[in-house]
Amino acid sequence: MNQQLMIKKIGHGGIKSLIKKATQLGITVSFFSCEKPLIKFKFKEKSVFIRKGTIPVERRMGDMTRNKNLTKILLREVGIKTPYGIIATSFNEATSLIKKNDLSYPLIVKPLDGSLAKGVTWDIQSKNELRKAISILEKNKGLTKYRRFMVEEMFIGDEFRVLVINKRVISCVKKMPASILGDGHSTIKKLIASFNKTRLKGFKIKIDTVVEETLEKNKLTLKSILPNNFNFKLRNNLNMSDGGRSIEYTDKMAKHFKKICEDAIEILGLTFGGIDFMTKNISRKKSPYVILEVNPNPFYNMHEKPLVEGNGVDVSYEILKNIFPKLK
């Protein structure tokens, strides 16, 4: 099979970066035609095979993280804080449990199983908004396996993605939603176009329904002009694929929080993982925090150049060094 076609079929941004770095380091990369992409990495006498875009590290109990509630139970067992919430199967059950457990607005609704923020609704301020969020999940059967979903209190703070490998934090970036900075004379449409010129394909701001609703809610249009230095947030989700930003924060992260993240990956039985971590001040030990979720096979493009704003970390090298210790 054509190598470029095979790479395109993989889809996983981290694996694409891994292949590129492996080739640069003299690791032989071979592709095989099969039902799912199969790739062989060979360095000296050692060979490793990977399938389905899975980062090739020892994973042990990694599948447990697919269930967000199970992840929360395990983390709480070792004293790690997670958002307070409930599991329900309908709007009526959710409202009853919210009242019984004294949950406070704003809330978040999310699928029990899922990734990439699919089906997640943030900043729910009322029962009507809760009903609408649950309705969105119910219409998308692919995100409502067993009809169960989670409702959690919304933690107010900054969100970070933390990468841990072999019990060590190797990278921390601050995640920011797609936003534009006014200059006093350019239209919003032009500001979006200017921002997109600086981004890689697949990581640009999309003018979709979410953006249009955000503009309407703020009584703006694509032709509106923002004041100079006015930062306008176009959406709530932090996905890089929707134009989100990542800013280097590894050296600013308190050792206390690094230890919490390292412990989280250990208790979940992972060698490598990405943690969605929220706190009001990541440099201050006593700052309130929660771990939102853990991904055992994270896209890590946001930690590497050219997407990260700052020095970034060569995550691909760290992973390859873990597989092939003899690498220089």
Specify the DSSP class assigned to residue 224.
Answer: -
Amino acid, single-letter form, for residue 203: F
Find the helix packing angle between 127-139 and 91-100, rounded to 10°: 140
pLDDT digits (tens, 9 = 90+) for 230-266: 999 999 888 888 899 999 999 999 999 999 999 999 9
- Same domain as 138, residue 108: yes
How many independent structural domains does the chain possess?
Answer: 4
Q: Which residues, given as ranges, of the chain have pLDDT below 50?
A: 1, 142-144
Distance CA 219, CA 203 (A): 26
Task: Residue 67: name the closest of 108, 111, 23, 33 by CA.
Answer: 111
- Same domain as 327, residue 249: yes
- Is-contact 73 63, C-beta < 8 A? no
CB atoms within 10 A of CB 169: 20
Retrieve residue 78's tokens: 């070792």
- Same domain as 211, residue 268: no
- Same domain as 172, residue 266: yes
State residue 222's pLDDT score: 96
Q: Which domain holds residue 32?
A: 3-56
State residue 142's pLDDT score: 45
- Same domain as 123, residue 42: no
Distance CA 163, CA 4 (A): 28
- Same domain as 318, residue 256: yes
State residue 33's pLDDT score: 67
Contacts (Cβ under 8 Å, ≥6 apart) of 263: 78, 80
- Same domain as 218, residue 74: no
State residue 158's pLDDT score: 94
- Altogether, the residues listed in the chain come to a count of 328
- 3-class DSSP state for residue 313? coil
State residue 146's pLDDT score: 53
Residue 164: exposure state from Cβ atoms within 10 A (0-12, 13-18, ≥19): buried
- Same domain as 284, residue 161: yes
- Same domain as 325, residue 292: yes
